[in-house]
Amino acid sequence: MSGDKKQPISAKLCSARNADDAILIGMSRFISQRCRVPGICFVALLLSLGCEGEPRVRPEKSDKDQAKVNVAKQGGQGGQPAAEAVQQPNQPAPTKKVRLGRSVWFETEGNNRRVMVETSVCLREGGLECLLCRTHSKEHESILSTDADAQVIHAGLLAAGAKPGSPVQYVEKQGEVVIVPPTGSRVRISVQYEENGKLVTLPAQHWILNAKTKRDLEDEWVFAGSKLLPSLNEEDQKPVYAATSDGSYICVYNMPYAVLDLPVNNPNKDPEIRELQPQTNRIPPLQTKVILILEPQPDDKARM
Protein backbone atom coordinates (compact mmCIF):
# COMPACT_ATOMS: atom_id res chain seq x y z
CA MET A 1 0.00 0.00 0.00
CA SER A 2 2.77 2.45 0.97
CA GLY A 3 4.44 1.93 -2.39
CA ASP A 4 1.46 3.08 -4.38
CA LYS A 5 2.26 6.60 -5.56
CA LYS A 6 -0.80 7.07 -7.74
CA GLN A 7 -2.98 10.00 -6.77
CA PRO A 8 -6.45 8.74 -5.76
CA ILE A 9 -9.31 9.95 -7.94
CA SER A 10 -10.90 11.39 -4.77
CA ALA A 11 -8.37 14.22 -4.95
CA LYS A 12 -10.02 15.30 -8.17
CA LEU A 13 -13.58 15.07 -6.87
CA CYS A 14 -13.58 15.75 -3.13
CA SER A 15 -11.81 14.87 0.09
CA ALA A 16 -12.92 11.45 1.35
CA ARG A 17 -14.32 11.79 4.86
CA ASN A 18 -13.90 8.18 5.91
CA ALA A 19 -12.71 4.81 4.66
CA ASP A 20 -16.03 3.98 2.97
CA ASP A 21 -15.92 7.24 1.03
CA ALA A 22 -12.38 6.56 -0.13
CA ILE A 23 -13.33 3.09 -1.30
CA LEU A 24 -16.34 4.34 -3.26
CA ILE A 25 -14.46 7.13 -4.98
CA GLY A 26 -11.59 4.83 -5.78
CA MET A 27 -14.05 2.42 -7.40
CA SER A 28 -15.54 5.27 -9.40
CA ARG A 29 -12.28 5.26 -11.39
CA PHE A 30 -14.25 2.93 -13.68
CA ILE A 31 -16.64 5.77 -14.43
CA SER A 32 -13.91 8.35 -15.02
CA GLN A 33 -12.30 6.02 -17.54
CA ARG A 34 -15.67 5.46 -19.25
CA CYS A 35 -17.47 2.28 -18.32
CA ARG A 36 -17.95 -0.26 -21.06
CA VAL A 37 -20.49 -2.50 -19.31
CA PRO A 38 -23.41 -1.15 -17.19
CA GLY A 39 -22.93 -3.89 -14.57
CA ILE A 40 -19.39 -2.71 -13.85
CA CYS A 41 -20.63 0.85 -13.49
CA PHE A 42 -23.28 -0.30 -11.01
CA VAL A 43 -20.67 -1.86 -8.75
CA ALA A 44 -18.70 1.37 -8.83
CA LEU A 45 -21.69 3.35 -7.53
CA LEU A 46 -22.67 1.39 -4.39
CA LEU A 47 -23.73 3.97 -1.93
CA SER A 48 -21.34 5.31 0.65
CA LEU A 49 -21.33 8.77 -0.93
CA GLY A 50 -19.34 11.45 0.83
CA CYS A 51 -18.76 14.30 -1.57
CA GLU A 52 -20.67 17.39 -2.35
CA GLY A 53 -20.60 19.00 -5.75
CA GLU A 54 -22.49 20.59 -8.53
CA PRO A 55 -24.98 20.82 -10.05
CA ARG A 56 -26.84 22.69 -7.34
CA VAL A 57 -30.42 21.44 -7.34
CA ARG A 58 -31.80 23.09 -4.27
CA PRO A 59 -31.24 26.46 -2.57
CA GLU A 60 -28.76 26.73 0.25
CA LYS A 61 -29.95 27.23 3.84
CA SER A 62 -31.08 30.82 4.31
CA ASP A 63 -29.42 33.24 6.72
CA LYS A 64 -32.62 33.21 8.81
CA ASP A 65 -32.55 29.43 9.13
CA GLN A 66 -28.86 29.48 10.03
CA ALA A 67 -29.54 32.10 12.69
CA LYS A 68 -32.13 29.81 14.30
CA VAL A 69 -29.60 27.02 14.42
CA ASN A 70 -27.02 29.33 16.03
CA VAL A 71 -29.55 30.40 18.67
CA ALA A 72 -30.31 26.77 19.46
CA LYS A 73 -26.60 26.01 19.88
CA GLN A 74 -26.13 29.00 22.22
CA GLY A 75 -28.92 27.95 24.55
CA GLY A 76 -31.84 30.01 23.30
CA GLN A 77 -32.83 33.66 23.63
CA GLY A 78 -33.84 35.54 26.76
CA GLY A 79 -32.66 32.76 29.08
CA GLN A 80 -34.99 30.17 27.53
CA PRO A 81 -33.72 26.64 27.03
CA ALA A 82 -32.69 25.97 23.47
CA ALA A 83 -35.43 23.37 22.98
CA GLU A 84 -38.05 26.01 23.78
CA ALA A 85 -36.40 28.82 21.86
CA VAL A 86 -36.44 27.03 18.53
CA GLN A 87 -39.25 24.67 17.57
CA GLN A 88 -38.03 23.05 14.38
CA PRO A 89 -39.58 20.23 12.40
CA ASN A 90 -37.55 17.14 11.63
CA GLN A 91 -34.58 18.18 9.58
CA PRO A 92 -34.33 16.67 6.06
CA ALA A 93 -31.69 14.04 5.50
CA PRO A 94 -28.39 15.49 4.26
CA THR A 95 -27.74 15.21 0.54
CA LYS A 96 -24.61 13.59 -0.82
CA LYS A 97 -23.59 13.62 -4.45
CA VAL A 98 -20.80 12.47 -6.66
CA ARG A 99 -19.90 13.11 -10.28
CA LEU A 100 -20.21 9.94 -12.36
CA GLY A 101 -18.93 11.27 -15.64
CA ARG A 102 -19.22 14.22 -17.98
CA SER A 103 -22.48 16.08 -17.17
CA VAL A 104 -23.87 13.28 -14.96
CA TRP A 105 -24.25 13.36 -11.17
CA PHE A 106 -25.62 10.89 -8.64
CA GLU A 107 -27.30 12.09 -5.43
CA THR A 108 -28.68 10.49 -2.30
CA GLU A 109 -30.97 12.07 0.28
CA GLY A 110 -31.77 9.55 2.99
CA ASN A 111 -33.25 6.58 1.14
CA ASN A 112 -33.95 8.63 -1.98
CA ARG A 113 -31.61 8.25 -4.93
CA ARG A 114 -31.57 10.25 -8.13
CA VAL A 115 -29.51 10.92 -11.23
CA MET A 116 -28.94 14.46 -12.50
CA VAL A 117 -27.96 15.28 -16.06
CA GLU A 118 -26.68 18.65 -17.24
CA THR A 119 -28.44 19.68 -20.45
CA SER A 120 -29.34 22.74 -22.51
CA VAL A 121 -32.45 23.78 -24.43
CA CYS A 122 -32.07 23.17 -28.17
CA LEU A 123 -35.70 23.22 -29.41
CA ARG A 124 -38.83 25.16 -28.43
CA GLU A 125 -41.15 24.42 -31.34
CA GLY A 126 -41.51 21.90 -34.15
CA GLY A 127 -41.82 18.15 -34.50
CA LEU A 128 -40.85 16.33 -31.32
CA GLU A 129 -39.22 12.90 -31.06
CA CYS A 130 -37.19 13.14 -27.85
CA LEU A 131 -37.13 15.02 -24.60
CA LEU A 132 -33.35 14.51 -24.46
CA CYS A 133 -30.81 13.59 -27.13
CA ARG A 134 -27.04 13.42 -27.42
CA THR A 135 -25.34 16.59 -28.62
CA HIS A 136 -24.89 16.65 -32.42
CA SER A 137 -27.56 14.03 -33.08
CA LYS A 138 -31.28 14.88 -32.90
CA GLU A 139 -31.39 18.52 -31.82
CA HIS A 140 -33.87 19.28 -34.62
CA GLU A 141 -36.51 17.14 -32.83
CA SER A 142 -35.48 17.17 -29.14
CA ILE A 143 -36.16 19.79 -26.49
CA LEU A 144 -32.87 19.19 -24.64
CA SER A 145 -29.42 17.96 -25.59
CA THR A 146 -26.44 16.80 -23.50
CA ASP A 147 -22.84 15.76 -23.99
CA ALA A 148 -23.28 13.03 -21.36
CA ASP A 149 -22.62 9.37 -22.18
CA ALA A 150 -25.92 7.43 -22.20
CA GLN A 151 -24.21 4.41 -20.67
CA VAL A 152 -23.19 6.44 -17.62
CA ILE A 153 -26.81 7.60 -17.21
CA HIS A 154 -27.83 3.93 -17.44
CA ALA A 155 -25.32 3.02 -14.71
CA GLY A 156 -26.61 5.80 -12.46
CA LEU A 157 -30.20 4.60 -12.84
CA LEU A 158 -29.10 1.07 -11.88
CA ALA A 159 -27.43 2.43 -8.74
CA ALA A 160 -30.58 4.43 -7.96
CA GLY A 161 -32.57 1.18 -7.91
CA ALA A 162 -34.20 1.25 -11.35
CA LYS A 163 -34.65 -2.02 -13.24
CA PRO A 164 -34.23 -1.94 -17.01
CA GLY A 165 -36.90 -3.52 -19.15
CA SER A 166 -36.84 -3.40 -22.93
CA PRO A 167 -37.20 -0.76 -25.65
CA VAL A 168 -40.11 -1.03 -28.07
CA GLN A 169 -40.23 -4.35 -29.93
CA TYR A 170 -41.75 -5.16 -33.29
CA VAL A 171 -42.86 -8.80 -33.26
CA GLU A 172 -44.32 -10.66 -36.20
CA LYS A 173 -47.39 -12.72 -35.31
CA GLN A 174 -49.49 -14.55 -37.87
CA GLY A 175 -48.13 -12.46 -40.69
CA GLU A 176 -48.69 -9.13 -38.91
CA VAL A 177 -46.28 -6.90 -37.04
CA VAL A 178 -47.31 -6.36 -33.42
CA ILE A 179 -45.87 -3.45 -31.44
CA VAL A 180 -44.78 -4.32 -27.89
CA PRO A 181 -44.47 -1.05 -25.90
CA PRO A 182 -41.34 -0.26 -23.84
CA THR A 183 -41.07 -1.69 -20.33
CA GLY A 184 -39.01 -1.05 -17.21
CA SER A 185 -39.09 0.75 -13.88
CA ARG A 186 -41.00 4.00 -13.88
CA VAL A 187 -38.79 7.07 -13.62
CA ARG A 188 -40.05 10.49 -12.59
CA ILE A 189 -38.34 13.20 -14.64
CA SER A 190 -38.15 16.85 -13.57
CA VAL A 191 -36.59 19.88 -15.23
CA GLN A 192 -34.74 22.42 -13.11
CA TYR A 193 -33.42 25.80 -14.25
CA GLU A 194 -33.06 29.42 -13.18
CA GLU A 195 -35.64 31.98 -14.23
CA ASN A 196 -35.44 35.62 -13.13
CA GLY A 197 -32.96 34.66 -10.44
CA LYS A 198 -35.16 31.93 -9.00
CA LEU A 199 -34.72 28.16 -9.16
CA VAL A 200 -37.67 26.53 -10.96
CA THR A 201 -38.42 22.79 -10.79
CA LEU A 202 -41.24 21.29 -12.86
CA PRO A 203 -42.34 17.87 -14.12
CA ALA A 204 -40.91 17.32 -17.58
CA GLN A 205 -44.45 16.57 -18.81
CA HIS A 206 -45.19 20.26 -18.26
CA TRP A 207 -43.11 21.03 -21.36
CA ILE A 208 -44.91 18.60 -23.68
CA LEU A 209 -48.38 19.14 -25.14
CA ASN A 210 -50.66 16.42 -26.44
CA ALA A 211 -52.16 18.27 -29.38
CA LYS A 212 -55.01 15.78 -29.60
CA THR A 213 -56.22 16.18 -26.00
CA LYS A 214 -54.92 19.77 -25.55
CA ARG A 215 -53.44 18.67 -22.22
CA ASP A 216 -49.96 18.10 -20.82
CA LEU A 217 -48.35 14.73 -21.43
CA GLU A 218 -49.76 12.38 -18.79
CA ASP A 219 -47.57 9.28 -19.14
CA GLU A 220 -44.48 8.68 -17.03
CA TRP A 221 -41.26 7.39 -18.60
CA VAL A 222 -39.87 3.89 -18.03
CA PHE A 223 -36.27 2.68 -17.95
CA ALA A 224 -36.18 0.76 -21.22
CA GLY A 225 -32.40 0.38 -20.99
CA SER A 226 -31.45 0.63 -24.68
CA LYS A 227 -29.30 -2.33 -25.83
CA LEU A 228 -25.76 -3.39 -26.64
CA LEU A 229 -24.85 -3.80 -30.30
CA PRO A 230 -21.90 -5.63 -31.87
CA SER A 231 -18.99 -3.35 -32.65
CA LEU A 232 -18.33 -2.50 -36.30
CA ASN A 233 -14.70 -1.78 -35.45
CA GLU A 234 -12.56 -4.77 -36.37
CA GLU A 235 -9.82 -3.68 -33.94
CA ASP A 236 -12.16 -3.04 -31.00
CA GLN A 237 -14.80 -5.75 -30.60
CA LYS A 238 -16.31 -4.37 -27.39
CA PRO A 239 -20.09 -3.95 -27.72
CA VAL A 240 -21.54 -0.51 -28.40
CA TYR A 241 -24.24 1.04 -26.22
CA ALA A 242 -26.89 1.80 -28.84
CA ALA A 243 -28.36 5.00 -27.35
CA THR A 244 -24.98 6.72 -27.22
CA SER A 245 -24.43 5.93 -30.88
CA ASP A 246 -27.96 6.76 -32.03
CA GLY A 247 -28.57 9.77 -29.77
CA SER A 248 -32.04 8.69 -28.56
CA TYR A 249 -31.74 9.17 -24.80
CA ILE A 250 -35.23 10.03 -23.47
CA CYS A 251 -37.93 9.61 -26.09
CA VAL A 252 -41.57 10.59 -26.49
CA TYR A 253 -42.06 8.40 -29.55
CA ASN A 254 -41.08 4.74 -29.38
CA MET A 255 -37.46 4.28 -30.43
CA PRO A 256 -35.67 0.90 -30.46
CA TYR A 257 -32.51 2.26 -28.78
CA ALA A 258 -34.02 4.56 -26.12
CA VAL A 259 -32.67 4.67 -22.56
CA LEU A 260 -36.05 5.92 -21.35
CA ASP A 261 -39.30 5.84 -23.30
CA LEU A 262 -43.04 6.11 -22.76
CA PRO A 263 -44.73 2.77 -21.94
CA VAL A 264 -47.40 3.14 -24.62
CA ASN A 265 -47.89 2.08 -28.21
CA ASN A 266 -46.62 5.28 -29.79
CA PRO A 267 -44.64 4.58 -32.97
CA ASN A 268 -42.72 7.38 -34.63
CA LYS A 269 -44.48 9.51 -37.24
CA ASP A 270 -43.67 12.25 -39.71
CA PRO A 271 -43.01 15.50 -37.79
CA GLU A 272 -46.04 17.32 -39.22
CA ILE A 273 -48.52 14.74 -37.83
CA ARG A 274 -46.99 14.08 -34.41
CA GLU A 275 -49.47 14.61 -31.57
CA LEU A 276 -46.81 15.43 -28.96
CA GLN A 277 -45.42 18.95 -29.35
CA PRO A 278 -43.25 21.30 -27.28
CA GLN A 279 -45.11 23.71 -24.98
CA THR A 280 -43.25 26.65 -26.49
CA ASN A 281 -44.52 29.30 -24.05
CA ARG A 282 -43.31 27.23 -21.07
CA ILE A 283 -39.84 26.33 -22.30
CA PRO A 284 -37.02 28.79 -21.49
CA PRO A 285 -34.90 30.36 -24.25
CA LEU A 286 -32.54 28.34 -26.39
CA GLN A 287 -29.22 27.45 -24.74
CA THR A 288 -30.69 27.77 -21.24
CA LYS A 289 -28.91 25.36 -18.89
CA VAL A 290 -31.31 22.77 -17.48
CA ILE A 291 -30.74 20.00 -14.95
CA LEU A 292 -32.77 16.87 -15.65
CA ILE A 293 -33.57 15.01 -12.42
CA LEU A 294 -34.27 11.29 -12.87
CA GLU A 295 -35.92 9.58 -9.88
CA PRO A 296 -36.82 5.87 -10.09
CA GLN A 297 -40.18 5.05 -8.57
CA PRO A 298 -40.99 2.11 -6.26
CA ASP A 299 -41.21 -1.38 -7.75
CA ASP A 300 -44.97 -1.49 -7.39
CA LYS A 301 -45.12 1.25 -10.03
CA ALA A 302 -42.82 -0.51 -12.47
CA ARG A 303 -44.33 -1.52 -15.78
CA MET A 304 -42.69 -4.75 -16.80
pLDDT tier at 303, thresholds 50, 70, 90: low
- Predicted confidence at residue 40, as pLDDT, reads 43
- Predicted confidence at residue 212, as pLDDT, reads 86
**Is 104 part of a structural domain of the chain?**
no
- What's the average model confidence in pLDDT over 179-192? 96
The mean-pLDDT minimum among 52-56, 95-99, 147-151 falls in: 52-56
**Is 138 part of a structural domain of the chain?**
yes
Rounded to whole angstroms, the Cα distance separating 228 from 244 reads 10
- What's the average model confidence in pLDDT over 109-115? 94
The mean-pLDDT minimum among 46-60, 162-176, 185-199, 216-230 falls in: 46-60
pLDDT tier at 298, thresholds 50, 70, 90: confident
**Is 106 part of a structural domain of the chain?**
no
Residue-wise pLDDT tens digits, 195-207: 999 999 999 999 9
- pTM higher than 0.95 for the full model? no
| More confident position, 274 or 174 | 174
**Is 10 part of a structural domain of the chain?**
no
Q: How many structural domains are present in the chain?
A: 1
Q: Is the pLDDT of residue 107 over 60?
A: yes
- Predicted confidence at residue 268, as pLDDT, reads 64
- Predicted confidence at residue 119, as pLDDT, reads 98
C-alpha 86: how far from chain center: 37
Domain limits for position 130:
120-301
Strand partners, 195: 198
pLDDT tier at 89, thresholds 50, 70, 90: low
pLDDT tier at 58, thresholds 50, 70, 90: low
pLDDT tier at 54, thresholds 50, 70, 90: low
117 Cβ contact partners less than 8 Å away, ≥ 6 residues apart: 103, 104, 105, 132, 146, 148, 153, 291, 292, 294
**Count of alpha carbons within 13 Å of 260, Cβ hemisphere only?**
31
Q: Is the pLDDT of residue 85 over 70?
A: no
